[in-house]
Amino acid sequence: MIEIERKFLVNSMAFKAEAHKSYAIKQGFLNSAKERTVRVRLKDEAGFLTVKGQSTANGLSRFEWEKSISTAEAEALLALCEPGIIDKVRYEVICGKHVYEIDEFFGDNEGLVVAEVELNAENESYTKPAWLGEEVTGDLKYYNSILSKTPYKLWSI
């Protein structure tokens, strides 16, 4: 399937009070190339293997294929991943018809907080909550596959 997503920075932690759920995510990449990203994810007690293709020129749409795997499988595959495992906590906030997913990063990406909203069409309208900051859709440095190699703590150097 094709995923359509917009990505934003977050200008306050007020989103936490609006979240209806949150969970820990640990993820690594079996390939972090933008043409064929292969991601292993452990999301609380669930495992996922996800393959993503290259984004369209505007950064909005991307082929995405995902398969559930066991936590034991996810752990075995994480051990094979490229260096740069990502640790984050994801919060979900319902806003109108959409769900914002806000990632608060830890480890080498501590200090970075990014929100994403998935749309059904590239021109679909959506409500912007007050804590939503600058749009960074399509900016490669915010891709998790890039953050695993060039984490936030290295950006200011």
45 is a site residue for its own copies (CB under 8 A) = no
Q: Which stretch binds its own copies (CB under 8 A): 11-19, 32-40, 129-137, 143-151?
A: 32-40
Q: How many residues bind its own copies (CB under 8 A)?
A: 19
Backbone angles phi, psi at 88, to 5 degrees: -155, 165
Q: Which stretch binds its own copies (CB under 8 A): 7-15, 30-38, 84-92, 109-117?
A: 30-38
- CA–CA separation, 66 and 1 (whole Å): 9
Q: Which is nearer to its own copies, 15 or 29 (CB)?
A: 29
- CA–CA separation, 111 and 78 (whole Å): 24
Q: What is the dihedral of CA 104, 134, 16, 111, to 10 degrees?
A: 30
> Which alpha helices (DSSP H) does the chain contain, by range?
15-18, 71-78, 144-147
- CA–CA separation, 37 and 148 (whole Å): 12
Name which of 86, 105, 91 is nearest 145 in CA terms: 86
30 is a site residue for its own copies (CB under 8 A) = yes
How many residues make up the chain in this entry? 157
One residue of 46, 65, 149, 154 binding its own copies per CB under 8 A: 65
Q: Which is nearer to its own copies, 53 or 107 (CB)?
A: 53
51 is a site residue for its own copies (CB under 8 A) = yes
Q: Shortest Cβ distance from residue 63 to its own copies (Å)?
A: 7
Binding site residues, its own copies, CB under 8 A: 30-31, 33, 35-36, 38, 49, 51, 53, 63, 65, 67, 69, 73, 76-77, 80-82
